[in-house]
Structure 1
Protein backbone atom coordinates (compact mmCIF):
# COMPACT_ATOMS: atom_id res chain seq x y z
CA UNK A 1 0.00 0.00 0.00
CA UNK A 2 1.27 3.45 -0.89
CA UNK A 3 -0.80 5.29 1.70
CA UNK A 4 -4.07 5.33 3.62
CA UNK A 5 -6.17 8.26 4.79
CA UNK A 6 -9.22 7.07 6.72
CA UNK A 7 -11.35 4.88 4.42
CA UNK A 8 -9.20 5.82 1.43
CA UNK A 9 -6.35 3.54 0.38
CA UNK A 10 -4.01 3.90 -2.58
CA UNK A 11 -1.99 0.89 -3.64
CA UNK A 12 0.15 -0.08 -6.60
CA UNK A 13 -1.66 -1.46 -9.62
CA UNK A 14 -1.80 -5.27 -9.71
CA UNK A 15 -2.42 -7.67 -12.58
CA UNK A 16 -5.90 -8.53 -11.28
CA UNK A 17 -6.93 -4.86 -11.62
CA UNK A 18 -7.01 -5.09 -15.42
CA UNK A 19 -10.64 -6.27 -15.34
CA UNK A 20 -11.79 -3.22 -13.38
CA UNK A 21 -9.81 -0.86 -15.63
CA UNK A 22 -11.45 -2.42 -18.70
CA UNK A 23 -14.89 -2.08 -17.07
CA UNK A 24 -14.36 1.55 -16.09
CA UNK A 25 -12.70 2.58 -19.34
CA UNK A 26 -15.57 1.22 -21.39
CA UNK A 27 -18.18 3.22 -19.44
CA UNK A 28 -19.29 6.30 -21.46
CA UNK A 29 -19.80 8.31 -18.25
CA UNK A 30 -16.15 7.80 -17.26
CA UNK A 31 -14.88 8.20 -20.82
CA UNK A 32 -16.64 11.56 -21.26
CA UNK A 33 -13.65 13.22 -19.57
CA UNK A 34 -11.00 10.47 -19.40
CA UNK A 35 -9.76 9.11 -22.74
CA UNK A 36 -12.99 9.83 -24.71
CA UNK A 37 -16.15 7.93 -25.51
CA UNK A 38 -14.67 7.03 -28.90
CA UNK A 39 -11.68 5.43 -27.17
CA UNK A 40 -13.12 2.58 -25.09
CA UNK A 41 -10.72 0.03 -23.62
CA UNK A 42 -10.85 -3.75 -23.74
CA UNK A 43 -8.48 -6.08 -21.85
CA UNK A 44 -5.86 -5.98 -24.61
CA UNK A 45 -5.78 -2.19 -24.65
CA UNK A 46 -5.64 -2.06 -20.85
CA UNK A 47 -2.65 -4.43 -20.90
CA UNK A 48 -0.87 -2.35 -23.55
CA UNK A 49 -1.48 1.04 -21.87
CA UNK A 50 -1.27 0.19 -18.18
CA UNK A 51 0.98 -2.87 -17.92
CA UNK A 52 3.60 -2.86 -20.66
CA UNK A 53 5.34 0.48 -20.24
CA UNK A 54 8.56 0.87 -18.30
CA UNK A 55 8.10 4.55 -17.48
CA UNK A 56 8.33 6.46 -14.21
CA UNK A 57 4.59 6.59 -13.60
CA UNK A 58 3.29 5.38 -10.28
CA UNK A 59 0.19 3.50 -11.43
CA UNK A 60 -2.20 2.92 -8.55
CA UNK A 61 -5.64 1.66 -7.62
CA UNK A 62 -7.89 3.68 -5.36
CA UNK A 63 -9.92 1.89 -2.72
CA UNK A 64 -12.60 3.36 -0.51
CA UNK A 65 -14.24 1.44 2.31
CA UNK A 66 -12.59 -1.76 1.06
CA UNK A 67 -13.87 -1.41 -2.53
CA UNK A 68 -11.78 -0.64 -5.60
CA UNK A 69 -13.32 2.54 -7.02
CA UNK A 70 -10.75 4.25 -9.22
CA UNK A 71 -7.31 4.86 -10.58
CA UNK A 72 -4.57 7.43 -9.99
CA UNK A 73 -1.11 7.85 -11.49
CA UNK A 74 1.77 10.12 -10.61
CA UNK A 75 4.96 10.89 -12.50
CA UNK A 76 7.88 13.31 -12.38
CA UNK A 77 7.71 15.88 -15.16
CA UNK A 78 10.49 15.44 -17.68
CA UNK A 79 12.54 18.41 -18.87
CA UNK A 80 10.54 18.81 -22.10
CA UNK A 81 7.22 19.00 -20.22
CA UNK A 82 8.72 21.40 -17.66
CA UNK A 83 9.81 23.73 -20.48
CA UNK A 84 6.39 23.45 -22.16
CA UNK A 85 4.71 24.44 -18.90
CA UNK A 86 7.24 27.20 -18.09
CA UNK A 87 9.05 25.47 -15.23
CA UNK A 88 12.72 24.81 -14.75
CA UNK A 89 14.82 22.83 -12.28
CA UNK A 90 12.21 22.11 -9.64
CA UNK A 91 11.03 18.67 -8.60
CA UNK A 92 7.55 18.69 -10.17
CA UNK A 93 5.07 15.83 -10.34
CA UNK A 94 1.97 15.41 -12.46
CA UNK A 95 -1.09 13.40 -11.51
CA UNK A 96 -4.07 12.00 -13.39
CA UNK A 97 -6.99 10.21 -11.84
CA UNK A 98 -10.57 9.09 -12.22
CA UNK A 99 -13.20 7.46 -10.07
CA UNK A 100 -14.50 4.57 -12.15
CA UNK A 101 -17.40 3.58 -9.92
CA UNK A 102 -19.83 6.38 -10.69
CA UNK A 103 -21.90 5.83 -7.53
CA UNK A 104 -18.88 7.24 -5.65
CA UNK A 105 -18.98 10.54 -7.57
CA UNK A 106 -19.96 13.75 -5.77
CA UNK A 107 -19.23 12.38 -2.31
CA UNK A 108 -15.98 14.25 -1.58
CA UNK A 109 -13.81 11.21 -2.33
CA UNK A 110 -12.07 12.91 -5.25
CA UNK A 111 -11.09 15.80 -2.99
CA UNK A 112 -9.79 13.37 -0.36
CA UNK A 113 -7.87 11.44 -3.02
CA UNK A 114 -6.20 14.48 -4.59
CA UNK A 115 -5.26 16.13 -1.29
CA UNK A 116 -3.88 12.82 0.01
CA UNK A 117 -1.82 12.23 -3.15
CA UNK A 118 -0.42 15.78 -3.04
CA UNK A 119 0.63 15.24 0.58
CA UNK A 120 2.23 11.91 -0.35
CA UNK A 121 4.18 13.51 -3.23
CA UNK A 122 5.32 16.45 -1.12
CA UNK A 123 6.35 14.28 1.84
CA UNK A 124 7.76 11.18 0.12
CA UNK A 125 8.88 12.36 -3.34
CA UNK A 126 9.90 15.86 -2.19
CA UNK A 127 7.78 17.48 -4.90
CA UNK A 128 7.85 21.27 -4.91
CA UNK A 129 4.82 21.48 -7.21
CA UNK A 130 2.11 19.11 -8.38
CA UNK A 131 0.44 19.89 -11.70
CA UNK A 132 -2.53 18.73 -13.74
CA UNK A 133 -3.98 19.72 -17.10
CA UNK A 134 -7.76 19.15 -17.05
CA UNK A 135 -9.86 20.16 -20.02
CA UNK A 136 -11.36 23.62 -19.47
CA UNK A 137 -14.86 22.19 -19.93
CA UNK A 138 -14.39 19.72 -17.05
CA UNK A 139 -15.79 22.15 -14.51
CA UNK A 140 -16.71 19.50 -11.91
CA UNK A 141 -13.11 18.24 -11.74
CA UNK A 142 -11.65 21.76 -11.76
CA UNK A 143 -13.89 22.73 -8.84
CA UNK A 144 -12.61 19.68 -6.94
CA UNK A 145 -8.98 20.56 -7.68
CA UNK A 146 -9.48 24.17 -6.57
CA UNK A 147 -10.94 22.87 -3.28
CA UNK A 148 -7.68 20.92 -2.92
CA UNK A 149 -5.60 24.10 -3.22
CA UNK A 150 -4.73 23.99 -6.93
CA UNK A 151 -4.55 27.32 -8.76
CA UNK A 152 -5.10 27.99 -12.44
CA UNK A 153 -1.82 29.01 -14.08
CA UNK A 154 -2.74 29.38 -17.75
CA UNK A 155 -4.70 27.95 -20.65
CA UNK A 156 -2.97 25.32 -22.78
CA UNK A 157 -4.64 25.86 -26.19
CA UNK A 158 -5.59 22.76 -28.21
CA UNK A 159 -3.70 20.65 -25.68
CA UNK A 160 -5.63 17.37 -25.67
CA UNK A 161 -7.17 15.33 -28.46
CA UNK A 162 -10.48 14.08 -27.11
CA UNK A 163 -13.24 12.50 -29.18
CA UNK A 164 -11.72 13.67 -32.46
CA UNK A 165 -11.27 17.31 -31.47
CA UNK A 166 -8.48 19.23 -29.77
CA UNK A 167 -9.55 20.84 -26.50
CA UNK A 168 -8.08 23.63 -24.41
CA UNK A 169 -6.85 22.59 -20.99
CA UNK A 170 -5.98 24.46 -17.84
CA UNK A 171 -2.48 24.12 -16.45
CA UNK A 172 -3.17 24.03 -12.73
CA UNK A 173 -0.67 23.68 -9.92
CA UNK A 174 -0.36 23.06 -6.24
CA UNK A 175 2.69 24.79 -4.82
CA UNK A 176 4.04 24.66 -1.27
Structure 2
Protein backbone atom coordinates (compact mmCIF):
# COMPACT_ATOMS: atom_id res chain seq x y z
CA UNK A 1 0.00 0.00 0.00
CA UNK A 2 1.33 3.43 -0.88
CA UNK A 3 1.04 6.67 1.01
CA UNK A 4 1.84 10.16 -0.23
CA UNK A 5 3.09 12.27 2.63
CA UNK A 6 4.19 15.88 2.65
CA UNK A 7 7.87 16.14 1.75
CA UNK A 8 10.08 17.88 4.27
CA UNK A 9 13.73 18.92 4.36
CA UNK A 10 14.66 15.67 6.12
CA UNK A 11 13.81 13.92 2.84
CA UNK A 12 16.46 15.80 0.86
CA UNK A 13 19.13 13.14 1.32
CA UNK A 14 17.08 10.37 -0.28
CA UNK A 15 15.65 12.76 -2.88
CA UNK A 16 19.17 13.77 -3.97
CA UNK A 17 20.17 10.11 -4.16
CA UNK A 18 17.22 9.39 -6.44
CA UNK A 19 17.93 12.37 -8.71
CA UNK A 20 21.39 10.98 -9.43
CA UNK A 21 20.23 7.38 -9.93
CA UNK A 22 20.61 6.58 -13.67
CA UNK A 23 16.97 5.63 -14.34
CA UNK A 24 15.81 8.94 -12.79
CA UNK A 25 18.65 11.21 -13.98
CA UNK A 26 17.80 10.25 -17.56
CA UNK A 27 14.54 12.21 -17.27
CA UNK A 28 15.07 14.61 -14.35
CA UNK A 29 17.58 16.97 -15.88
CA UNK A 30 19.21 19.75 -13.85
CA UNK A 31 18.93 18.04 -10.44
CA UNK A 32 19.98 21.21 -8.64
CA UNK A 33 16.84 22.94 -9.94
CA UNK A 34 14.70 20.19 -8.39
CA UNK A 35 16.66 20.39 -5.14
CA UNK A 36 16.25 24.19 -4.99
CA UNK A 37 12.52 23.81 -5.53
CA UNK A 38 12.20 21.45 -2.58
CA UNK A 39 14.48 23.55 -0.38
CA UNK A 40 12.24 26.56 -1.05
CA UNK A 41 8.90 24.73 -0.85
CA UNK A 42 7.79 26.94 2.04
CA UNK A 43 8.68 30.18 0.26
CA UNK A 44 9.33 30.68 -3.48
CA UNK A 45 7.73 27.35 -4.44
CA UNK A 46 4.91 27.17 -1.90
CA UNK A 47 2.43 26.77 -4.76
CA UNK A 48 3.77 23.27 -5.50
CA UNK A 49 2.52 20.33 -3.44
CA UNK A 50 5.57 18.06 -2.87
CA UNK A 51 5.22 14.48 -1.62
CA UNK A 52 7.35 11.50 -0.73
CA UNK A 53 5.83 8.21 -1.84
CA UNK A 54 6.03 5.51 0.77
CA UNK A 55 5.26 1.83 0.48
CA UNK A 56 4.51 0.37 3.89
CA UNK A 57 6.46 3.23 5.47
CA UNK A 58 9.50 2.91 3.19
CA UNK A 59 10.28 5.92 0.95
CA UNK A 60 10.29 4.72 -2.67
CA UNK A 61 9.69 7.86 -4.72
CA UNK A 62 8.66 11.45 -5.16
CA UNK A 63 5.73 13.24 -6.74
CA UNK A 64 4.22 16.69 -6.92
CA UNK A 65 1.38 18.66 -8.43
CA UNK A 66 0.61 22.30 -9.03
CA UNK A 67 -1.88 24.61 -10.70
CA UNK A 68 -0.47 25.61 -14.08
CA UNK A 69 -1.58 29.22 -13.55
CA UNK A 70 0.90 29.48 -10.66
CA UNK A 71 3.87 28.43 -12.78
CA UNK A 72 5.50 30.29 -15.63
CA UNK A 73 4.68 27.45 -18.04
CA UNK A 74 2.12 27.99 -20.77
CA UNK A 75 1.43 24.30 -21.31
CA UNK A 76 0.74 24.72 -25.02
CA UNK A 77 -2.27 26.93 -24.29
CA UNK A 78 -3.77 24.79 -21.55
CA UNK A 79 -2.81 27.25 -18.80
CA UNK A 80 -4.88 29.98 -20.47
CA UNK A 81 -7.95 27.73 -20.39
CA UNK A 82 -7.96 27.83 -16.59
CA UNK A 83 -8.40 24.84 -14.32
CA UNK A 84 -5.24 23.12 -15.57
CA UNK A 85 -2.93 21.26 -13.19
CA UNK A 86 0.25 19.34 -13.84
CA UNK A 87 2.04 16.49 -12.11
CA UNK A 88 5.53 15.03 -11.84
CA UNK A 89 6.38 11.64 -10.41
CA UNK A 90 9.24 9.20 -10.03
CA UNK A 91 10.00 5.86 -8.49
CA UNK A 92 13.45 6.37 -7.03
CA UNK A 93 14.09 2.89 -5.66
CA UNK A 94 14.90 0.45 -8.46
CA UNK A 95 13.36 -2.52 -6.61
CA UNK A 96 9.95 -0.85 -6.97
CA UNK A 97 10.06 -0.23 -10.72
CA UNK A 98 7.53 -1.93 -13.01
CA UNK A 99 5.34 -3.12 -10.14
CA UNK A 100 2.30 -0.86 -10.60
CA UNK A 101 3.33 1.86 -8.16
CA UNK A 102 3.36 4.55 -10.85
CA UNK A 103 -0.30 3.97 -11.60
CA UNK A 104 -1.15 4.25 -7.91
CA UNK A 105 0.83 7.49 -7.61
CA UNK A 106 -0.90 9.09 -10.61
CA UNK A 107 -4.27 7.93 -9.28
CA UNK A 108 -3.61 9.45 -5.87
CA UNK A 109 -2.39 12.73 -7.40
CA UNK A 110 -5.50 12.84 -9.60
CA UNK A 111 -7.75 12.37 -6.57
CA UNK A 112 -5.97 15.17 -4.72
CA UNK A 113 -6.25 17.56 -7.66
CA UNK A 114 -9.96 16.79 -8.02
CA UNK A 115 -10.47 18.23 -4.53
CA UNK A 116 -9.64 21.70 -5.90
CA UNK A 117 -12.83 23.49 -6.97
CA UNK A 118 -11.23 24.94 -10.10
CA UNK A 119 -9.69 21.66 -11.38
CA UNK A 120 -10.77 20.84 -14.93
CA UNK A 121 -7.87 18.87 -16.33
CA UNK A 122 -4.38 17.52 -15.73
CA UNK A 123 -1.73 18.12 -18.37
CA UNK A 124 1.62 16.34 -18.51
CA UNK A 125 4.41 16.48 -21.07
CA UNK A 126 6.92 13.67 -20.59
CA UNK A 127 9.68 13.33 -23.11
CA UNK A 128 8.38 11.20 -26.01
CA UNK A 129 11.32 8.83 -25.51
CA UNK A 130 10.13 8.10 -21.97
CA UNK A 131 7.94 5.23 -23.11
CA UNK A 132 7.27 4.03 -19.55
CA UNK A 133 5.83 7.38 -18.49
CA UNK A 134 3.85 7.83 -21.70
CA UNK A 135 2.35 4.34 -21.34
CA UNK A 136 1.58 4.96 -17.69
CA UNK A 137 -0.35 8.13 -18.50
CA UNK A 138 -2.39 6.35 -21.17
CA UNK A 139 -3.20 3.53 -18.72
CA UNK A 140 -4.40 6.16 -16.22
CA UNK A 141 -6.94 7.65 -18.62
CA UNK A 142 -4.87 10.42 -20.19
CA UNK A 143 -5.09 11.05 -23.93
CA UNK A 144 -2.28 12.40 -26.07
CA UNK A 145 -3.07 15.72 -27.73
CA UNK A 146 -0.92 14.90 -30.76
CA UNK A 147 -1.00 18.46 -32.07
CA UNK A 148 0.44 19.90 -28.87
CA UNK A 149 2.31 16.76 -27.68
CA UNK A 150 0.71 17.00 -24.25
CA UNK A 151 -1.10 14.27 -22.34
CA UNK A 152 -4.44 15.49 -21.00
CA UNK A 153 -6.94 14.02 -18.56
CA UNK A 154 -10.26 15.84 -18.22
CA UNK A 155 -11.60 15.98 -14.67
CA UNK A 156 -15.12 17.22 -15.37
* TM-score of the superposed pair, with normalisation by structure 2: 0.85
What is the match of residue 88 of structure 2? 96
Distance 1:16 1:62 in 2: 14
> In the alignment, is residue 8 of structure 1 matched against residue 5 of structure 2?
no
* TM-score of the superposed pair, with normalisation by structure 1: 0.76
What is the match of residue 120 of structure 2? 128
The alignment's C-alpha RMSD in Å is: 2.0
- In the TM superposition, residue 140 of structure 1 has moved relative to its aligned partner by 1.1
Q: Which runs of 5+ in 2 are unaligned?
A: none
Q: Deviations over 1:25-78 (max 9, x none)?
A: 11112111222xxx455xxx7652311252211111111121101111111012
- The residue correspondences of 1:5-154 to structure 2 (distance < 5 A) are 7-35=1-29, 39=30, 47-52=35-40, 54-55=44-45, 56-78=47-69, 81-82=73-74, 84-87=75-78, 88-122=80-114, 124-126=115-117, 127-154=119-146
Q: Which runs of 5+ in 1 are unaligned?
A: 1-6, 157-169
- In the TM superposition, residue 134 of structure 1 has moved relative to its aligned partner by 0.2
Sort the Cα spacing of 1:131 and 1:65 in 2 relative to 1 into closer, same or farther, 3 A. Answer: same
Structure with a larger share of its residues in strand: 1
Sort the Cα spacing of 1:61 and 1:91 in 2 relative to 1 into closer, same or farther, 3 A. Answer: same
Sort the Cα spacing of 1:28 and 1:9 in 2 relative to 1 into closer, same or farther, 3 A. Answer: same
Sort the Cα spacing of 1:155 and 1:16 in 2 relative to 1 into closer, same or farther, 3 A. Answer: farther
For the Cα contact (< 8 Å) 1:18–1:46, is it kept in 2?
A: no
Structure with a larger share of its residues in helix: 2
Helix, strand or coil at the partner of 1:142: helix
